[in-house]
Structure 1
Amino acid sequence: MDTKDIPFFAQLNPVSFEWPVKVPVPNGGRYDFIEFTGVFKYLDDAGEAEMLDPKNKRTDKQILAEVLLGVKGIKHADGTEVASTPELVASVIAADRVAPCAVGLYLGARRGLAAEKNS
């Protein structure tokens, strides 16, 4: 990312970020991976703590619905990219195995981004 024209405070507190998501799909004793890029809301520490607070008893699908803003890299059969719409995002969230994988990757990426930002 070219940051020369982005104000300092915006660089420290991004609004969103893109991160690859790989979802394992069992196939004949091994896994194939379905891949797409998630566009995620960047929560600050307080927002993440509130989202993950056990008192709120949120499922992975509920957490993903809060932070997944869009998807990229999902293609039609003819190879053209499917436009990211709220309906597509909802379908991705509802798909089997996506939410646990995406939430885990989101949290790891967010913490990694925070570590990079502070290094």
Structure 2
Amino acid sequence: MFFDIVITFRFAYDNGVRICAQIFGIVNANDNGVTMNAAQCRMARAALQIGVRELAEAAKVSPSTVARLEAGEELKPRTVDAIRAALEATGVEFIPENGGGAGVRLKIRA
């Protein structure tokens, strides 16, 4: 699961000398709780038999962005969401980590 973590430091001073610090953290999961890792992206593309360029076009991102995701680079959550949504729209279902490992499968077509 991807999280946005914001850490804020608040300092108290006495005559210019820092005497204490407080740390506040805010953690936000992405809205729908569904995430995608690099391996899942590669598996989804392989299942759909599409290339990096085709996925990039469907997600409206550059091919290098897809390549960076698949290499394990951290991208903005909205970029990962756009790539995941494009894969889901073409028939992929993401399987969350449930003790057996995260994965993908093709949706049953009616």
Q: Which has the higher strand share?
A: 2
**TM-score normalized by structure 1?**
0.27
Q: For the pair shown, which has the larger CA radius of gyration, 1 or 2?
A: 2
